[in-house]
A and B are shown apart, each in its own frame.
Chain A
Amino acid sequence: MPLFKSMSLLEVKNISKKYGATIALNNCNISINESEIHVLIGSNGSGKSTLCKIISGSVQADKGEIFIKNKKTKIKNPIDSKNLGISTFYQELSIANHATVEDNVFMNNLPSKYFFLIDREKLRNSALKFYNLFKNVAGEDFLLSTPVNQLREDQRQIVEIMKVLASNTKIMIFDEPTSALDKAQVECFFKILKNLKKQGHSIIFISHRMNEIFEVGDKITVLRDAEVISTNKLKEVDQDTIIKRMIGEKNLTSNFQRQNNKIKTPALSIRNLSGKNFDNISLEILKGEIIGIGGLHGQGQSSLLRSIFGILPIKSGKIYVENKIINKTSPRKSINNGLSYISGDRKRDGIFPGRSIFENIFPIHFYKNKKIFTNRNRVQPLANNTLDLLKTVYSNINQEITNLSGGNQQKIIIARWLINSPLVLLLDDPAKGIDLSAKADLYSLINKLAEKGVSIILYSSDDVELLTYSDRILVFNNGKITRLLKGSEKNKYNLYEASYNN
Chain B
Amino acid sequence: MQNNNKNISLQLVRDFPFIPSLIILIVLILLNGFYEPNSISIDSLVGLVSTYLALMLLAVAQTYVVMSADIDLSVGGIISLVNVSIVAFMDHFGGGVHVVLLSLLLGIIIGILCGLINGFVVAILRLQAIVATFATSIFFMGLALYIMPVAGTPASDLFWLTYFENYFGIPFVIYALIFILLLIFFLNKSRFVTTLLAVGDGYLSAFQGGLDVTKTRVKGFLLCGFFSAVSAFCLTGETASGDPLVGTKMTLLSVAAVVLGGGALSGGSASVIGSMIGVLIIGLINSLVFFIGTPSEWQNLIQGLSILIALMIGIYINIKAQS
Q: Which A-chain residue is minimally distant from B192 (CB atoms)?
A: A116
Query: Does chain A have a CB within 8 A of B3?
Result: no
Complex Cα distance A163/B191, Å? Answer: 17
- Out of B186, B194, B199, B207, name the residue touching A103 (CB < 8 Å): B194
Binary B-proximity of A196-236 (CB < 8 A = 1, otherwise 0): 00000000000000000000000000000000000000000
Query: Does chain A have a CB within 8 A of B209?
Result: yes
Query: Does chain B have a CB within 8 A of A96?
Result: yes
Query: Does chain A have a CB within 8 A of B195?
Result: yes
A94 / chain B contacts, CB cutoff of 8 Å: 205-206, 208-210
Cross-chain contact A96 with B189 (CB below 8 angstroms): no
Query: Does chain B have a CB within 8 A of A92?
Result: yes
Cross-chain contact B201 with A96 (CB below 8 angstroms): yes
Asked if A110 meets B210 with Cβ closer than 8 Å, knowing A98-B269, A99-B201, the reply is: no
Complex Cα distance A334/B180, Å? Answer: 56
Binds B, one of A76-84, A185-193, A482-490: A76-84
- CB B134 to nearest CB in A, in angstroms, measures 20
A81 / chain B contacts, CB cutoff of 8 Å: 210
Binary A-proximity of B152-191 (CB < 8 A = 1, otherwise 0): 0000000000000000000000000000000000100111
Cross-chain contact A96 with B212 (CB below 8 angstroms): no
Binary A-proximity of B200-225 (CB < 8 A = 1, otherwise 0): 01100111111110000000000000
Query: Does chain A have a CB within 8 A of B197?
Result: yes
Cross-chain contact B197 with A99 (CB below 8 angstroms): yes
- CB A206 to nearest CB in B, in angstroms, measures 15
Complex Cα distance A78/B192, Å? Answer: 19
Binary B-proximity of A75-114 (CB < 8 A = 1, otherwise 0): 0011101100001101011111111000110011010100
Query: Does chain B have a CB within 8 A of A436?
Result: no
Query: Does chain B have a CB within 8 A of A147?
Result: yes
- CB A108 to nearest CB in B, in angstroms, measures 5
B268 / chain A contacts, CB cutoff of 8 Å: 96-98
Asked if A88 meets B208 with Cβ closer than 8 Å, knowing A97-B268, A150-B14, the reply is: yes
Query: Does chain B have a CB within 8 A of A118?
Result: yes
Asked if A97 meets B201 with Cβ closer than 8 Å, knowing A90-B208, A116-B191, A147-B14, the reply is: yes
Complex Cα distance A147/B192, Å? Answer: 18
Query: Does chain B have a CB within 8 A of A343?
Result: no
Cross-chain contact A96 with B191 (CB below 8 angstroms): no
Complex Cα distance A414/B195, Å? Answer: 43
Cross-chain contact A96 with B198 (CB below 8 angstroms): yes
Cross-chain contact B209 with A108 (CB below 8 angstroms): yes
Query: Does chain B have a CB within 8 A of A372?
Result: no
Query: Does chain B have a CB within 8 A of A56?
Result: yes
| Interface hits, B294-323 → A, CB 8 Å | 322
B269 / chain A contacts, CB cutoff of 8 Å: 98
- CB A186 to nearest CB in B, in angstroms, measures 23
B210 / chain A contacts, CB cutoff of 8 Å: 78-79, 81-82, 87, 94, 108
Q: Which A-chain residue is minimally distant from B198 (CB atoms)?
A: A96
Complex Cα distance A500/B276, Å? Answer: 55
Complex Cα distance A147/B13, Å? Answer: 13
Complex Cα distance A116/B223, Å? Answer: 14
Cross-chain contact A78 with B208 (CB below 8 angstroms): yes
B206 / chain A contacts, CB cutoff of 8 Å: 94, 96
Cross-chain contact A118 with B190 (CB below 8 angstroms): yes
Cross-chain contact A110 with B191 (CB below 8 angstroms): yes
Q: Which B-chain residue is minimally distant from A114 (CB atoms)?
A: B186
Complex Cα distance A104/B206, Å? Answer: 10
Query: Does chain B have a CB within 8 A of A3?
Result: no
A163 / chain B contacts, CB cutoff of 8 Å: 209
- CB B202 to nearest CB in A, in angstroms, measures 7
Complex Cα distance A88/B201, Å? Answer: 19
Q: Which A-chain residue is minimally distant from B322 (CB atoms)?
A: A149
B197 / chain A contacts, CB cutoff of 8 Å: 96, 98-99
Cross-chain contact B198 with A78 (CB below 8 angstroms): no
Query: Does chain B have a CB within 8 A of A58?
Result: yes
- Out of A78, A104, A150, name the residue touching B207 (CB < 8 Å): A78
Query: Does chain B have a CB within 8 A of A1?
Result: no
| Interface hits, B68-95 → A, CB 8 Å | none
B209 / chain A contacts, CB cutoff of 8 Å: 78, 90, 94-96, 107-108, 163
Cross-chain contact A118 with B189 (CB below 8 angstroms): yes
Asked if A95 meets B205 with Cβ closer than 8 Å, knowing A79-B212, A108-B210, A150-B14, the reply is: yes
- CB A121 to nearest CB in B, in angstroms, measures 12
Query: Does chain B have a CB within 8 A of A263?
Result: no
Complex Cα distance A15/B206, Å? Answer: 25
Query: Does chain B have a CB within 8 A of A117?
Result: yes
Cross-chain contact A56 with B208 (CB below 8 angstroms): yes
A107 / chain B contacts, CB cutoff of 8 Å: 194-195, 198, 209, 211
Asked if A117 meets B190 with Cβ closer than 8 Å, knowing A96-B197, A150-B14, the reply is: yes
Cross-chain contact A117 with B207 (CB below 8 angstroms): no
B212 / chain A contacts, CB cutoff of 8 Å: 79
Complex Cα distance A94/B208, Å? Answer: 6
Complex Cα distance A9/B280, Å? Answer: 59
Q: Which A-chain residue is minimally distant from B17 (CB atoms)?
A: A98
Asked if A58 meets B208 with Cβ closer than 8 Å, knowing A97-B202, A98-B268, A99-B197, the reply is: yes
A98 / chain B contacts, CB cutoff of 8 Å: 197, 201, 268-269
Complex Cα distance A267/B189, Å? Answer: 60
Q: Which B-chain residue is minimally distant from A116 (CB atoms)?
A: B190
* The 7 nearest A-B residue pairs measured at CB: A94-B209, A96-B198, A96-B201, A94-B208, A94-B205, A98-B268, A78-B210
Enumerate 14 A-B pairs (CB-CB under 8 Å) in ascending A order: A56-B208, A78-B207, A79-B210, A79-B212, A92-B205, A96-B197, A96-B268, A97-B202, A99-B197, A108-B209, A108-B211, A116-B191, A118-B191, A120-B189
Given contacts A96-B201, A110-B194, A116-B191, 11 further A-B contacts (CB under 8 A): A56-B208, A58-B208, A77-B207, A82-B210, A90-B205, A94-B208, A96-B198, A98-B201, A108-B211, A117-B190, A163-B209
